[in-house]
Amino acid sequence: MSAFLLIMIFVFLIMGISILLMPDLVAKTLPFGVRIPADYADNHLIKKMKAYFRIYVIFLLVIFLVLTIFSGIYEQIVILFSFIGLEYFGYYLVHKRIHFEKIRNRWYENKKEVVVAEIDTQQKKINLFLWTLPSIIFIIISIISLYFIYPLLPNSIPINFSVNGIPDSWIPKTPLNASLLIIIMATITVIFYILNIVILRSRIEIDPTMPEVSSFQANKFKILMIKSLSVMGWFLNITFLLMNFITWNVLSSNNFFMIIIPVIIAVVIVFAVSTYAGAQGSRLKYPSNGNKENEVMRDDDKYWIGGIIYFNRDDTAILVPKRFGIGWTINVGNIFAWVFIILIILLIIVSFIIMILVH
């Protein structure tokens, strides 16, 4: 079994398990991306839709795992994207069914819709630089190592490896060529740092029926995810550091598979933290301060396309909490959100252009 196939199986399992757990990880008032009053969270239709959705996902997972095992690399990539597309299709059907039930039975009738804003931001303090420092240290280690190793490098440097770890493409030895992966490490570190800043400053959604609880959960979730993403950045840079040592002939290319291990560890950490906390910290425990009768969060479904894409020109937030999934999504109605997206894309493009020019 090839290393690439093992990676694909791991990706399928992580994605499949995440989707299976997701209906119970999101807030009860957001089943499949539909905003509902809390007293309808245990509606029989929602329970039935959760069961149908899980059966559908398990069926897809089994079928596509079997197809993946007996397919080539390029076919496996197509299968993966097909799996993602069909998962979303199943989610969308359930989303529309619950939304239709909500409108037909007027679940928001006689409800007082409330929007609560957070003023106290003391819980959101975290030193982003300290959490980014390990990633910077791995970059510095790579730079210092290259300084001493460069004179000993052969005239050609391997730039690509087969799934078995055998080099199959080379580029001439130059300082820039030898530094390609260091440039990628720096790019990843900058992207993660910017992303953490945006997450830290993103707005949270406070449930008016339990404002203290939801504020605590959302802010705690921010800190947990920032730390998790920072740790992921560390492990990604460890992977590229190991790749540097293989490219510079410090480590044997027979050890190529071991560079995948840090990435797997990083994914498992983020997955574990997300599952523990739930979407926007909905699973984090906090002494309840009681519910306020007849008050519900504002019905803002009109700003969500399919419960996935958020479009609101009047909202100044760049990132907003996802409705189905762990983390945040872009407010595509905010011009500054597009500036953020373009900045990230430009950083990635510049890295690829450098690689192509020296290839």
Q: Per residue in 210-247, pLDDT tens? A: 778 888 888 889 999 999 999 999 999 998 898 888 88
Tell me 328's DSSP state. E
> Between 207 and 332, whose confidence is greater?
332
In this structure, the answer to whether residues 89 and 144 fall within a common structural domain is no
Query: Strand 304-305 vs strand 309-310: parallel, antiparallel, or unpaired?
Result: antiparallel
Question: Are 247 and 127 found together in one domain?
Answer: yes
Please state whether the predicted TM-score (pTM) of the whole model is above 0.95. no
Domain end, chosen from 82, 108, 134, is at 108
Give the residue with greater pLDDT, 336 vs 73.
Answer: 336
Smallest CA-to-CA distance from 214 within 118, 74, 350 is with 118
- What band does 200 get if pLDDT is binned at 50, 70 and 90? confident
Residue 94 clears pLDDT 60, i.e. is over it: yes
Using an 8 Å Cβ cutoff, are 148 and 244 in contact?
A: no
Of the chain, the percentage scoring pLDDT greater than 70 comes to 87
Shared domain for 12 and 134, answered yes or no, is no
> Is residue 352 pLDDT above 90, yes or no?
no
pLDDT the model gives residue 129: 92
Asked whether residue 198 falls in the same domain as residue 238, the answer is: yes
Among 49, 76, 108, residue at a domain's last position: 108
Query: Across the strands, what pairs with 297?
Result: 114
> Does residue 314 belong to any structural domain of this protein?
no
Residue 129 lies in a domain: yes
Using alpha carbons, select from 84, 1, 10 the residue that is nearest to residue 260. 10
Same domain, 147 and 74: no
Question: In the 8-state DSSP scheme, what is residue 116?
Answer: B
- Check whether residue 9 and residue 104 sit in a common domain: yes
Do residue 148 and residue 104 come from a single domain?
no
Residue 164 — very low, low, confident or very high, per pLDDT cuts 50/70/90? low
**What are the tens digits of pLDDT across the range 42-77?**
899 999 999 999 999 999 999 999 998 888 877 888
54-91 per-residue burial string, b: 16 or more CB within 10 A, e: under 16:
bebbeebbeebbeebeebeeeebeebbeebeebbeebb
Are both 149 and 287 inside the same structural domain?
yes
Domain with 27 in it: 1-108
Number of domain units in the chain = 2
- The span from the CA of 319 to the CA of 331, in Å, is 6
Residue 308, domain member (yes or no): no
